[in-house]
């Protein structure tokens, strides 16, 4: 039987490359696996040889020790791979297919899936609606920052690339379809971005950059990206965004006014989440900062897309309320301005096919926007450290050296 190396969370601040079990079409017991999911048979699934798998900011929350993730958890929910084994009940996906895997695991059978809300599938996580690979409290499905991975419900979930050779030519773009491109796009759609819109994106990490590029694809007139990190803001500026440096100038509304001639935008997108920091040179962690600031700068009747991650358990939070996800949000301000809020995991399958076509046709340049950077599996621990320091790169792991 073949081996399987994987990126494993060991302790706060540390990941390791370990030899792990080669996947089978069954969910076995292991770190983070819900007892009610142990032994779950997956003849509707496939085994993938991982072609690319990306490091995500959501992974960093676990690695920093800001969740209840257990030691030994195999990481990775952004997966693109080649099908090498097909379960008995798989009808349409074939060996040799090159596919993108939506990060949300979905059965295709429940009410949520039938209504295209695959982000809150009712059948894959005994704890709550919704699941993902290699993520805390998501049912225990094994992550894909590895050489091989098992993917359930293959016929329903997998997005097959129509031409394998052409797909490999654009694999650094197509690898973003598993999460950050649909997530950024969902943030922009949820915020009501349309031709001629003015848009504020909070956060210039990979999801924020994906949201900014998505807003451009949707026809926004002006996209403004805010962050505390000058390197990441430079990356946003590189593809035509306006930027505001909130470390140098804490007055967000004033900076927007200088750009637009008005202190408000039509739409805003939170791509930061629960580890948000206050603005200014002496900033500290204040989890509600972004949510309150985007309500302040979004016009009355506007919409707020919130793809940034918020959790119900944060052992490293700054106060007791924040440890259970209770934040001091100025909800009265949002109510008074008749804001629409859209939160939660992105239903990747709503968007990934259209975004694939945008990539293949040359309309979308997502790898350039997020500064995709190819690394080997062995380089993943160092990449996690660099990403945590705020480097403006989207690290793409190539476990088998298949990407030219």
pLDDT at 1 over 90: no
The confidence score (pLDDT) of residue 283 equals 80
Q: What is the pLDDT of residues 165-204, one digit of tens each?
A: 999 999 999 999 999 999 999 999 999 999 999 999 999 9
Contact between 212 and 185 (Cβ < 8 Å) = no
Q: What is the pLDDT of residues 244-275, one digit of tens each?
A: 999 999 999 999 999 999 999 999 999 999 98
Q: What is the pLDDT of residues 23-53, one digit of tens each?
A: 999 999 999 999 999 999 999 999 999 999 9
pTM of the model as a whole: 0.96
Percentage of residues in the chain having pLDDT higher than 90: 93
Q: What is the pLDDT of residues 274-312, one digit of tens each?
A: 989 999 987 888 999 999 999 999 999 999 999 999 988
pLDDT at 94 over 80: yes
Question: Which residue's structure tokens are 């965004």?
Answer: 241
Enter the DSSP assignment of 158. Answer: -
Q: How far apart are CA 206 and CA 232, in angstroms?
A: 9
Neighbours of 138 (CB within 10 A): 23
Q: How far apart are CA 141 and CA 138, in angstroms?
A: 7
Q: How far apart are CA 366 and CA 383, in angstroms?
A: 20
The confidence score (pLDDT) of residue 314 equals 87
Q: What is the pLDDT of residues 342-353, one digit of tens each?
A: 999 999 999 999
The confidence score (pLDDT) of residue 303 equals 97
* Cα pseudo-dihedral 121, 99, 149, 131, rounded to 10: -10
Q: What is the pLDDT of residues 360-383, one digit of tens each?
A: 999 999 999 999 999 999 999 999
What is the arithmetic mean of pLDDT over 59-74? 94
Percentage of residues in the chain having pLDDT higher than 70: 100
The confidence score (pLDDT) of residue 42 equals 98
- 3-state DSSP helix/strand/coil percent for the chain, to nearest 5? 30, 25, 45
pLDDT at 22 over 60: yes
What is the arithmetic mean of pLDDT over 230-237? 98
Q: How far apart are CA 237 and CA 126, in angstroms?
A: 43
The confidence score (pLDDT) of residue 231 equals 97
72 phi-psi bin (left φ>0, alpha ψ -120 to 50, beta other): left
The confidence score (pLDDT) of residue 205 equals 96
pLDDT at 388 over 90: yes
What is the arithmetic mean of pLDDT over 224-241? 98
Domains of the chain by range and CATH?
4-179+347-397 (3.90.180.10), 180-343 (3.40.50.720)
Provide the pairing of β-strand 4-11 with 14-20: antiparallel
- In what helix (H) or strand (E) does residue 46 lie, and over which residues does it extend? strand 46-54
Pick from 36-50, 106-120, 307-321: least confident: 307-321
Mean pLDDT score of the chain: 96
Enter the DSSP assignment of 288. Answer: T
pLDDT at 117 over 80: yes
Neighbours of 336 (CB within 10 A): 11
């Amino acid at each position: 039987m073949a081996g399987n190396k994987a990126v494993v969370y060991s302790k706060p601040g540390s990941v390791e490359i370990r030899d792990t079990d080669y996947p089978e079409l069954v969910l076995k017991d292991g770190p983070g696996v819900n007892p009610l999911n142990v032994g779950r048979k997956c003849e509707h699934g496939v085994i993938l040889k991982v072609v690319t798998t990306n490091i995500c900011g959501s992974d960093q929350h676990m690695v920093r020790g800001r969740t209840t993730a257990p030691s030994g958890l195999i990481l990775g929910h952004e997966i693109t791979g080649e099908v090498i084994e097909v379960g008995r009940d798989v009808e349409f996906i074939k060996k040799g297919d090159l596919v993108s895997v939506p990060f949300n695991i979905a059965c295709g059978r429940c009410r949520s899936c039938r209504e295209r809300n695959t982000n809150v599938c009712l059948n894959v996580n005994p704890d709550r609606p919704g699941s993902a690979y290699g993520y805390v409290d998501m049912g225990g499905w094994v992550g894909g920052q590895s050489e091989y991975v098992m993917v359930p419900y293959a016929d329903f979930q997998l997005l097959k690339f129509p031409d394998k050779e052409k797909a490999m030519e654009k694999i650094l773009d197509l690898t973003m379809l598993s999460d950050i491109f649909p997530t950024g796009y969902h943030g922009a759609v949820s915020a009501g971005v349309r031709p001629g819109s003015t848009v504020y994106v909070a956060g210039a990490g990979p999801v924020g950059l994906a949201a900014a590029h998505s807003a451009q694809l949707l026809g926004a007139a002006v996209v403004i990206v805010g962050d505390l990190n000058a390197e990441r803001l430079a990356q946003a500026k590189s593809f035509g965004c306006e930027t505001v440096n909130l470390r140098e100038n804490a007055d967000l509304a004033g900076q927007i006014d200088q750009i637009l001639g008005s202190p408000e935008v039509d739409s805003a997108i939170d791509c930061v989440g629960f580890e948000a920091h206050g603005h200014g040179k002496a900033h500290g962690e204040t989890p509600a900062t972004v949510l309150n600031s985007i309500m302040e700068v979004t016009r009355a009747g506007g919409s707020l897309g919130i793809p940034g991650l918020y959790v119900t358990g944060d052992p490293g939070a700054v106060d007791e309320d924040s440890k259970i996800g209770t934040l001091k949000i100025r909800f009265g301000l949002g109510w008074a301005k008749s804001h629409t809020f859209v939160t939660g995991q992105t239903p990747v399958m709503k968007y990934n096919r259209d975004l694939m076509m945008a990539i293949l046709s040359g309309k979308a340049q997502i790898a350039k926007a997020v500064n995709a950077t190819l690394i080997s599996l062995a380089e993943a621990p160092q990449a996690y450290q660099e990403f945590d320091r705020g480097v403006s790169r989207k690290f793409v792991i190539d476990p088998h050296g298949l990407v030219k």
